[in-house]
């Protein structure tokens, strides 16, 4: 069975049970691990894996020759020398990834991805798993469905960010491989040194939390200096209908985004500012030695009214901490500290008007 056939043969697994959470920690949610194989990482051997069906990731214990056939990229990691090469046609035999294989499944997300027509057994369960991320050899392998998820490809955003912000105060990953086909997007990037803010946050004292929150706010201000006349466009100018801002600024009874912006106190006039769109604690990497941050997961980045950047933190949209949370702490601690730092930089819209307006959709 080819990787593509494997992918299609397990699509029915994507149908969620109604009691499964929209977001979860992969480590604690063992049943969800069975869903990872459908994204397209399959195992050829103990040191070789097929990414989709067009690229092979291989580990060896001596440097790769520069004249390696079909070589795409190479790097040196703590556990060996890695290379990504074009796969032959047909690709070599492989089996679905399973826990215990070399790559470690570090993230699995749901919602906003592939939409499957519900049958009689799945009524009311249209949304399904959309993204998974593996880690191996000091890199991350990210795969997500592109059906109903037509944002600017992440490698394009990273490339443009590197070009526009050579003196940025935050780190960005290096792109080693990318591809889009069969309604899937594949991305391999270097790891940014450090740990996620989500993992480290509760070990920090208040002063340290505020210092890193200030760095996140500063990063928001930096990339907000990149502007466009196209509301909702990606960094490359591509305007997509299916983006996060459009979803937040439309209502069942009010589809006009520009009019809605005016209603909730957001400027509907250009220029619009570039916004990461998902700058929660899992997408901020903290390097404790250098006391710096890195930013990952640029899939939701787009141009928005500048004040919307503050609203995202003030209303903790996708910015809350996942459990476990220490006693006497709030799950929006990170978001509120960043919001405070943004207020010190001139942001003032706390999103209360927007929330009162949008809540109609959730009732």
Q: pLDDT tens digits, residue range 29-83?
A: 333 344 444 568 889 999 999 998 899 999 999 999 999 999 999 999 999 999 9
DSSP code for 116:
-
How would residue 8 be classed by pLDDT, with cut points 50, 70 and 90? very low
Instruction: Dig out the tokens for 93 from the structure.
Output: 């035999």
Q: Does the pLDDT value for residue 195 go beyond 80?
A: yes
Q: Does the pLDDT value for residue 318 go beyond 70?
A: no
pLDDT reported for residue 95:
87
- The mean pLDDT value for 313-325 works out to 77
What gap in Å lies between CA 58 and CA 102, rounded to an integer? Answer: 11
For the ranges 13-17, 39-43, 88-92, 160-164, the one whose mean pLDDT is highest? 160-164
pTM attached to this predicted model: 0.85
Q: Does the pLDDT value for residue 177 go beyond 50?
A: yes
Instruction: Dig out the tokens for 349 from the structure.
Output: 């819209």
Place of tokens 């919307």: 308
Calculate the average pLDDT of the chain.
Answer: 83
- The mean pLDDT value for 285-303 works out to 96
More confident residue, 26 or 341: 341
Give alpha helix (H) positions in the chain.
Answer: 3-9, 154-164, 197-200, 206-224, 244-248, 257-263, 306-314, 333-343, 352-358
Q: Does the pLDDT value for residue 16 go beyond 70?
A: no
């Amino acid at each position: 069975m080819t990787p593509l056939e494997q992918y299609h043969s397990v699509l029915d697994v994507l149908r969620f049970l109604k009691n499964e959470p929209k977001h979860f920690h992969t480590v604690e949610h063992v049943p969800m691990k069975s869903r990872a194989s459908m994204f397209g990482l399959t195992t050829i051997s103990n040191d070789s894996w097929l990414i989709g069906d067009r690229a092979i990731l291989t580990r060896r214990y001596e440097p790769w020759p520069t004249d390696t056939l079909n070589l795409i990229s190479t790097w040196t990691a703590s556990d060996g020398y890695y290379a990504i090469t074009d796969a032959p046609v047909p690709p070599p035999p492989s089996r679905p990834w399973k826990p215990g294989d070399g790559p470690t499944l570090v993230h699995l997300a749901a919602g906003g991805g592939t939409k499957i027509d519900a049958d009689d057994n799945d009524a009311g369960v249209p949304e399904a798993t959309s993204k998974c991320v593996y880690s191996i050899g000091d890199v991350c392998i990210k795969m997500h469905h592109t059906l109903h998820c037509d944002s600017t490809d992440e490698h394009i955003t990273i490339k443009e960010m590197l070009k526009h912000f050579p003196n940025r105060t935050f780190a960005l990953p290096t792109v080693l491989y990318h591809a889009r086909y069969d309604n899937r997007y594949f991305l391999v990037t270097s790891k940014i040194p450090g740990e996620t803010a989500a993992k480290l946050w509760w070990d920090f004292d208040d002063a340290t939390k505020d210092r890193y929150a200030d760095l996140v706010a500063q990063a928001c201000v930096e990339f907000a200096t990149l502007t466009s006349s196209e509301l909702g466009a990606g960094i490359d100018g591509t305007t997509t209908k299916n983006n996060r801002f459009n979803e937040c600024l439309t209502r069942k009874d009010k589809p006009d985004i520009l009019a809605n912006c005016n209603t909730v106190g957001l400027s509907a006039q250009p220029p619009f500012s570039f916004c990461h769109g998902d700058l929660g604690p899992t997408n901020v990497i903290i390097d404790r030695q250098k006391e710096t941050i890195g930013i990952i997961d640029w899939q939701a980045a787009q141009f928005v009214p500048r004040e919307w950047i503050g609203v995202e933190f003030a209303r903790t949209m996708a910015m809350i901490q996942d459990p476990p949370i220490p006693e006497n702490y709030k799950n929006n601690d990170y978001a509120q500290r960043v919001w405070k730092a943004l207020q010190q930089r001139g942001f003032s819209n706390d999103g209360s008007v927007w929330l009162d307006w949008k809540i109609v959709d959730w009732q």
